[in-house]
Amino acid sequence: MNASTRKRAKLCRELALDKKAVDPVILDLSKIQGPALCFMVCSGQSDPHLKAIAAGIEEGMAEQEGIKPQGRDGGRGTQWMVLDYGDVLVHIMHESKRAYYELEELWGDVPRVK
């Protein structure tokens, strides 16, 4: 993963933590030709919490990096939101969805970014 992608992913993690996201992790997919160079995965405890995390990341990325997501998916009732920053895909999941889908296990052979 290049330095700018790493910086962007870490910023997404910090912005999520600012909104009290649960257990944010960064998965480095750069060596396996995944759908992006990395995933940042975090959890929220309710739909309003998921929205707050997403809004915090979007606002912070716009202010600090001058970028908006290329796409977004999920929303009311889905309990899983995705923000697409090209090289970084941000997954914001309700804790129960995250436990069910186990993205970290699905991509378990990739390194985590500290």
When pLDDT is cut at 50, 70 and 90, the band that residue 38 belongs to is: very high
Domains in the chain with CATH codes: 3-108 (3.30.460.10)
pTM of the model: 0.92
- The alpha carbon of 28 is separated from its chain's Cα centroid by a whole number of angstroms, namely 12
Beta strands 71-73 and 80-84, pairing class: antiparallel
Compare 104 and 81 and report the one with higher pLDDT.
81
Choose the weakest-confidence range: 2-6, 8-12, 42-46, 103-107: 103-107
Q: Are 1 and 80 in contact (CB under 8 A)?
A: no
When pLDDT is cut at 50, 70 and 90, the band that residue 109 belongs to is: confident
Q: Is the pLDDT of residue 40 over 90?
A: yes
